[in-house]
Amino acid sequence: MKRLLPIAIFLGLFILLARSLFVPQMDLPSPLIGKQIPSFSLNELGKSSTVTHQDLLGDIALINIWATWCVGCEIEHDFLVELSLDQDLDIPIIGINWKDRDDLATRWLIQKGNPYSKILSDPIGNTAIDFGVYGAPETFLIDDQGIIHYKHIGPMDRQNFEQDILPRIVALRK
Amino acid sequence: MLPRHRRFLGICLVLLTVGLASFFILKSFQDNLLYYLTPSEVIAGKAPEDREFRIGGLVVTGSFFRQTGSLTSQFVLTDGSASIEVSYKGILPDLFREGQGIIARGKFNSANLFIASEVLAKHDENYMPPEIHAMETSLE
Amino acid sequence: MIPEIGQLLMITALAAALLQFLIGLKLFTVDQSLRMILIKRFTLIQCLSIFLAICCLGYSFLNDDFSVLYIALNSNTNLPVPYKIAAIWGAHEGSLLLWMFLLSFWGVTLAFSKKFNDQDKMLKIYSLSILGLVSLSFILFIIYTSNPFERIFPMPDQGRGLNPLLQDPALAIHPPILYAGYVGLAIPFALALASLLTPHSSSWAGIARIWTINSWLFLTGGIALGSWWAYYELGWGGWWFWDPVENASLMPWLVATALVHSLIVTEKKGLFNSFSTLLAIIAFSLSLLGTFLVRSGVLISVHSFASDPERGLFILMLIGLFTGGALMLFALKQKRSAPLKLELLSRESLLLLNNVFLCSAAGLVMIGTLYPLVLELVNSEKISVGPPYFNFVILFPCIPLLIFVGLAMFSAWNGKGSKLLLRSSRVALLSILIGLVVSLLILSYDTPLTTIGLILAVWTIITGCLPLIRSRTSSLVKNLPMALAHIGLGIMVLGITVTSSYGITFDDTLGFGQSKTVGEYEFKLITINDRTGPNYTAKVAMVEIYSENQKIGTVFPEKRVYDTTSPSMTEAGIEANLFRDLFVALGEDLGGDIWSMHLQYKPLLRLIWLGPFIMILGGLVRLFLLKPLSETANS
């Protein structure tokens, strides 16, 4: 009996640690879910034309916050390109290039491929703050009215896309 | 004294000591827990009264203000939906910057201004701008 | 090409570790001596492969091969060569590689150790086999989740550079030292498990003690160095923050200290065998727990970490495997020991008592560190436990601990309590007297706690010296390690007490030519200039310090901006001697030639690091000067 005590204590601790792993990290609850995207007016990357939040309405779309300095963005980039080529899914991805330099961003897209249907440049980071962005990469799912339905923190990959985002897109399209 | 009595006395002593120690420890625990909240949670009234807690959020760009030659600075913390004005007297950490994620410890004064007694900058290699290199090291 | 060779070497090491593990099992009917030869060979091959893999990584670092992701992220062409080498373990992947190398290196020292008698052959084979399993898991961990040799395409022209915080000599050597300590605890762990499998061998305690002292030395050094680094580099002059990352290194240290003492009793008296076994398991498990806490990012910490649930999950599985498995084995195989009959104040019971205190200290630190996780699960609130909790509760085990540390110096094996109290009373009175005089007359009275701290420090130092004073010259060397360790402890307690009670710290503004008074010292800001270093630019302040209108020194605190990235770094200006530290850190430009400054006066601060240094000396004496002694004792 006495010998089983250490292992019992350990089991308790172990379960605690295991469960804490599966609690979402730094889960700043996104208060924006269910709300309209914040209003903004940003330049398109490398162009002089401006885009406002109203230009994003009319389509179910993903908004992806990214930057060239961000390692997570590098990881998810190939998947984004793959996603943009998926004819069946056919979902526009709007990029917001956050706190970055336009020349670096342009070169990155030439080298790695461009998955975005529109890229907005947010060098100061004000729009990202309005979006409640905590870091990059972050991806928002919006419907055709511009209502935010989901926010994904960190790099996206096929697994978490199919698990968390795809079902929501399908539901929205119904 | 019979051995049985002696053992009983011993056990009583041990229990008493353990009990007293646990009482003090638990009490100190209660007094020293620091809640970590977001500005929205604070606005929603979750902040403890008369006790310090931590707020995490981003420093709103353009909100930073300090009078020339003064040690006191003011800035606004936000999580995207709610904002809180913070006042801090002291030296800000090297990694403090507008648009940056920080953690402030403190409590509200009577004028509903959050008086921070400590400001920490968060740094995380993957999710933060390049100014902020992670300090991923030293085994941590 | 070179990174691929590194990769290949990792796979070689993996294979060697697997074979090392398998040979130890009784799967094949192999002759025992052949088995011994093979297992030694594989241990060596594993260690060499890892070493060469590190060399490959180092070679690529020196040649700025930015096609390797790890190097692109942690180096650039401007980085000075010594830091290119330190950058090998500057981040997660490389630091694990180093961890792995140290593990295999300790394995080799065990494999080729002459401390085993003939009847302990199986003990050695089993423990090496268990180490093989540990290595196997960690090499898998590196290859699957944290491969330092991973390539990126296209290759960037320039790397991102090493984190400027890490560009510092103390921090360059701090991780290897601390890791050596953590990993070293794998050896007593393996020996303890092997002893459960070989019920007839009794000499595991003596052997395990050597390696426990060994890793205890590295842990002590690593923690002290880390604290010193945090003091002068993190900028704000604190020396201990109760940060989860620091706690992660303190817990194994406390348990390792208990283990060293418990093993003495097991080796010399054959008692506490179960307790020692359990402590050995716990000590290594706490090392793993530390790695988990840091690498999985489950806790909010000032030290940041790249949180990666996958890595966390892997480490957690390893904890489950090793700790769970070991405790299971312990429950099944532990011999039923005869009921203990101890004299209340004999040396055995005092050692046992102190080990209980050390373990409860570790437990209290653990509760404070893990409690946020519990609360988060229960009602999804994020909280952290503040330093005041730790500062307060740690006193509960530490005060009695220090009392008994001193008492134990008067005790004898199986000795009677009445004699003990009689013998110690004079020294106890003397300590109380000195403590009272110092706290009331020499220093100004602060709090009762300060006085208690001073009395206990004096008590620990005096009783620590006793074995040297009383012993004949022949046994002087034999008593030296214990004496030094305890004197070091007393000195550290003295430093902590005085610094915490009488130190002065504040932030203030200073204009050019203005001065501020801190205690009996006056700090005067003369001017602030620009300076250009090898890979940074800096603002340098010139601050003169006066005591009773006599200039005693000039310090030059800096604010540095490194080229590749833009966080500014604070380099404090410190004027120190053994008795006090004067510390100035440059804050910000507040406009109008006025700057914010962080000023502090910390009396006896150096003792906090001098103490551990003396403890380490004690350990070194035990390992290197006493070797012949213990060997003659064995034969």
Domain extent listing, chain A: 33-173
Q: How far is CA C58 from the centre of its chain?
A: 25
Cα distance between residue C438 and residue B84, in whole Å: 49
Say whether domain A33-173 belongs to CATH 3.40.30.10.
Answer: yes
| Residues ≥6 apart with Cβ < 8 Å to A174 | none
R_g of chain C, CA atoms, integer Å: 26
- What does the pLDDT read at residue A37? 87
- In this predicted structure, the answer to whether residue B32 has a pLDDT above a threshold of 80 is no
- In this predicted structure, the answer to whether residue B124 has a pLDDT above a threshold of 60 is no
| Residues ≥6 apart with Cβ < 8 Å to C49 | C9, C10, C12, C13, C16
Phi-psi label, residue C529: left if phi above 0, alpha if psi -120 to 50, beta otherwise: beta
Helix ranges restricted to H, B1-140: 3-32, 39-43
Length of chain C: 635
Is there a contact between A81 and A113 (Cβ–Cβ < 8 Å)?
yes
A20 → closest Cβ in C278, C300, C377: C377
The CA-based angle A25-A29-A30, given to 5 degrees, is 120
Beta-bridged to residue C575, according to DSSP, are C582
Mean pLDDT of A11-39: 71
Is there a contact between C456 and C493 (Cβ–Cβ < 8 Å)?
yes
C565 → closest Cβ in B122, B130, B135: B130
pLDDT band at residue B10, thresholds of 50, 70 and 90?
Answer: confident
Q: Which amino acid is at B105?
A: R
B127 → closest Cβ in A72, A125, A132: A72
Higher-confidence residue of C154 and C41: namely C41
pLDDT band at residue A88, thresholds of 50, 70 and 90?
Answer: confident
Cα distance between residue C627 and residue C123, in whole Å: 21
R_g of chain B, CA atoms, integer Å: 23
Q: What are phi and psi for residue A24, nearest 5 degrees?
A: -55, 135
SS3 label, residue A25: coil
Cα distance between residue B81 and residue A29, in whole Å: 10
Mean pLDDT of B43-50: 80
Mean pLDDT of C452-474: 89
- Would the CB atoms of B94 and C393 count as touching at under 8 Å? no
- What does the pLDDT read at residue C635? 37
R_g of chain A, CA atoms, integer Å: 19
- Would the CB atoms of B24 and C396 count as touching at under 8 Å? yes
pLDDT in tens, C100-127: 999 999 999 999 998 888 888 889 999 9
Lowest-confidence segment of A137-146, C203-212, C213-222 by average pLDDT: A137-146
Residues in chain B within 8 Å Cβ distance of C508: 71
- Would the CB atoms of B126 and A135 count as touching at under 8 Å? yes
- Would the CB atoms of B130 and C182 count as touching at under 8 Å? no
Is there a contact between C344 and C414 (Cβ–Cβ < 8 Å)?
no
Residues in chain C within 8 Å Cβ distance of B123: 304
Mean pLDDT of C407-412: 88
B127 → closest Cβ in A125, A131, A135: A135
Mean pLDDT of C547-567: 80
| Residues ≥6 apart with Cβ < 8 Å to C131 | C20, C43, C103, C107, C110, C186, C187, C190
Query: Which of the listed ranges A107-121, A146-160, C298-312, C453-467 does the model predict with the highest average pLDDT?
Result: C453-467
The three state secondary structure string of C382-420 is EEEECHHHHHHHCHHHHHHHHHHHHHHCCCCCCCCHHHH
Compute the nearest-CA separation of C151 from chain A (Å). 13
Percent of chain A with pLDDT over 90: 9
Cα distance between residue A100 and residue A122, in whole Å: 8
Q: At what angle do helices C244-269 and C347-379 cross, to 10 degrees?
A: 150
A10 CB within 8 Å of a chain C CB: yes
B128 CB within 8 Å of a chain A CB: yes
Q: How far is CA C19 from the centre of its chain?
A: 32
DSSP H or E segment with residue C530: strand C521-532
Q: How far is CA A53 from the centre of its chain?
A: 17
Closest-CA residue to C586 (of C566, C601, C568): C568
Compute the nearest-CA separation of A162 from chain B (Å). 23
Cα distance between residue C305 and residue C284, in whole Å: 22
- Would the CB atoms of B99 and A125 count as touching at under 8 Å? yes
Mean pLDDT for chain C? 86
Lowest-confidence segment of A27-36, C71-80, C225-234, C426-435 by average pLDDT: A27-36
Lowest-confidence segment of C352-366, C370-384, C500-514 by average pLDDT: C370-384
Cα distance between residue C119 and residue C200, in whole Å: 9
| CA count, 13 A, side-chain hemisphere, B75 | 25
pLDDT in tens, C323-336: 999 999 998 887 76
Any idea which residue has 């001098």 for tokens? C610
Lowest-confidence segment of A150-154, C78-82, C177-181 by average pLDDT: A150-154
- In this predicted structure, the answer to whether residue C230 has a pLDDT above a threshold of 60 is yes
- In this predicted structure, the answer to whether residue C357 has a pLDDT above a threshold of 90 is yes
Is there a contact between C20 and C46 (Cβ–Cβ < 8 Å)?
yes
Compute the nearest-CA separation of C455 from chain A (Å). 37
- In this predicted structure, the answer to whether residue C20 has a pLDDT above a threshold of 80 is yes
- What does the pLDDT read at residue A57? 85
- What does the pLDDT read at residue A98? 81
pLDDT band at residue C584, thresholds of 50, 70 and 90?
Answer: very high
Cα distance between residue A7 and residue A4, in whole Å: 5
Q: What would the DSSP string read from start to end of C450-496?
A: HHHHHHHHHHHHHHHHHHHHHS-GGGHHHHHHHHHHHHHHHHHHHHH
